[in-house]
Structure 1
Amino acid sequence: MKLVRYGEKGAEKPGLMDGDLLRDLSGHVSDISGEMLDDATLAKLRNIDPATLPEVTGSPRIGPCVGNIGKFLCIGLNYSDHAAETGAAIPQHPILFFKANSAVVGPNDDVVMPRGSTHTDWEVELGVVIGKTAKYVSKADALEHVAGYCIINDVSERHFQTQLTGQWTKGKSCDTFGPTGPWLVTRDEVAEPQALALSLDVNGKRMQTGNTSTMIFTVAEIIEHLSGLMTLHPGDVITTGTPPGVGMGMKPEPVYLKVGDVMELQIEGLGQQRQKVGQDA
């Protein structure tokens, strides 16, 4: 299934994609969020004939595909070629940082650079949404705890991230820096999360091209590692790192976003995102 949330910010409704048609799920669930992402609930939704659901007409805004996100956990430098372009060593364990939930926006909402930003960058990433409580899970069992997958743009202000004393979270948590969606693709429709093509364009120019097969740590290994540090709950989101081609890695000089730029992201089987860049007043 492709589960989606649509409508104005803060008032999104649950839906699912029936081919190219958006159908309303409000008669069955109140939202696409942690409390309904367990296997039993997803199985009930899977058994619904989409043709019996009301069609959503017009062109409503598409919101983040998960509501009331619990923890937003991020893995850094998880592609060997991306680590190389930034001059970083290959990590021995998954690098973890957090993104503030207030950064989360819809997949096509504007990305707004904060005041004083001159180093705002892009990062297409595979997002993983937890559907079953995970604590001390093994790599072999890890994917059974996944509800589904989505696209995330881990937008980053590099000066805030690296030059303001503290941790990466400072450059990752600005408002609008977490476009998520367009839909949550349930895990039964993603046969192999380690074989998905990713790409990102800025103003129509291809910047990032990659494949999840080149991750240093797989989705299963990430879940095993994180669940040994903290309990993962339904509705928690993990974004798993980005392939090469980010602005800070451009040669001979870094290239950063400016007002009016347009980012377009896609991951095989997970849809597309499109954001226009603005500036905070």
Structure 2
Amino acid sequence: MKIKNYQREKICELFSPSSGYVLDFSNKTFAEFFEDHFETNIYAEVFSEKGTSKLNRLLCFIEVCPSHVVVELLNLLWKRRNKERDSEIEQAVMQSSLESFSITPEYVEILLDNAAVEDKPFQELIDEIGTAPVQMVQPHFSKLTKEWTLDTVEREFQRAFDSVEKDPEASVTAACSMLEGVCKSIIATREIERPKRMDIKSLYLSVREPLGLAPDKSISQSEIEGDVRAILSALSNLAQGIGSLRTHAGTAHGRERGVFGDSILGLLGHQFLLRRL
């Protein structure tokens, strides 16, 4: 989520006692914290865009997460920050109920009041982040909409789903047209040279390289290279398969006599296929 400047400053004030650090975390405990609570490698490259310090990685993590995850993260950090304080209060509450200790209820009340004062700015920050996620991300989506209008894609998307039950062949055609529209929009936005043929396979091949989706893409981590190549090859096969399905089972090239809504798509389970196109 996109946090505001004053919210970022408040996070730094609350959780970064020294420049670049986060609370009392070492490199090891910082990595373990994110692994245990969020199953995330905080030392991955994606979290180093602002810098490689723990604080910069924390801020990067916050900006790529939804608001409810950010709230969970900050609550965990706040609990860690006040571990000794809360332990002292808990112990004082327990001792105040025992005659063998000289802790009075009044002393416990003072501890609780002081804690409430310390918690107030943090709680205000949490309330803001937890209740205003939509307004914070809206400018980002507005900018994208202005840059790249997908009105034709949206129409084909709606046409595909409206026809799933009553006319599955037409739905396949619309689904393929939707993917063609996405590729054409990418070509226009990125000023990519248009292919000679405008079928789905040719369109996909045109955008594949500029988007870094070619199966021969160089992968620096050898242990995942085969997996990534398999996925990228599958994308090419998927585009070709969708085009073939439109040709053989769609309406782009007409219908056979007496065939309407009950073709080979019924045997394949057209709803399963169409909802994944």
Where on the TM-score scale, by shorter chain, does this alignment land: which range? under 0.3
> Normalising to structure 2: TM-score of the pair?
0.22
Which structure would you say has the larger RCO, counting Cα contacts within 8 Å and 6 or more residues apart? Answer: 1
**Larger % of strand: which?**
1
Mark the structure with the bigger radius of gyration. Answer: 2
TM normalised by structure 1 equals 0.22
